[in-house]
């Protein structure tokens, strides 16, 4: 198994664990809501809890997608900034070497 395969496997496991945790949170919140509505029949409570859990998962998925999109935007912005800074550093290094070479040539010519 290559390192890339291992990373993919880890991502899949993390995804399953994240989804399982979100489902459990949704079920817990749905059960809390259902228990507060004592006038519901058992069937109505089960349907409410099922719909609540479905909506909870949809909102969690939307939140994850927005977070992933924002992370990608930030990654692109930071990479562009890094490239610009690296270019400036390279330009300063080349300029410094050119100045040093000019100084050496001046000192050599004067001596």
Q: Is residue 37 part of a domain?
A: yes
Residues 34/45, Cβ–Cβ less than 8 Å: yes
Q: Whole domain around residue 27: which residue ranges?
A: 3-83
Inform me whether the pLDDT recorded for 1 exceeds 80: no
- Provide the pLDDT for residue 91: 97
Q: Is residue 9 part of a domain?
A: yes
Q: Could you read off the pLDDT of 55-106 as tens digits, one per residue?
A: 999 999 999 999 999 999 999 999 999 999 999 999 999 999 999 999 999 9
- Provide the pLDDT for residue 37: 86
Q: Is residue 59 part of a domain?
A: yes
The 8-class DSSP code of residue 40 comes to: S
- Provide the pLDDT for residue 10: 86
**Exposed/middle/buried for residue 5 (C-beta within 10 Å: 0-12, 13-18, 19+):** exposed
Q: Within 13 A of 75's CA, how many CA atoms are on the CB side? A: 6
The reported pTM is 0.67
- Provide the pLDDT for residue 11: 87
């Amino acid at each position: 198994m290559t390192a890339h395969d291992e990373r993919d496997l880890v991502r899949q496991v993390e995804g399953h664990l994240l989804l399982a945790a979100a489902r459990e949170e949704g079920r817990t919140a749905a059960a809390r809501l259902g228990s507060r509505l004592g006038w519901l029949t058992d069937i109505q409570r089960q349907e409410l809890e099922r719909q609540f859990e479905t909506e909870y998962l949809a909102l969690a998925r939307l939140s994850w997608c927005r977070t992933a999109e924002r992370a990608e935007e930030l990654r692109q912005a930071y990479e562009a900034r890094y490239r610009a800074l690296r270019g400036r550093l390279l330009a300063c290094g080349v300029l410094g070497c050119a100045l040093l070479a000019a100084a050496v040539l001046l000192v050599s010519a004067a001596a």
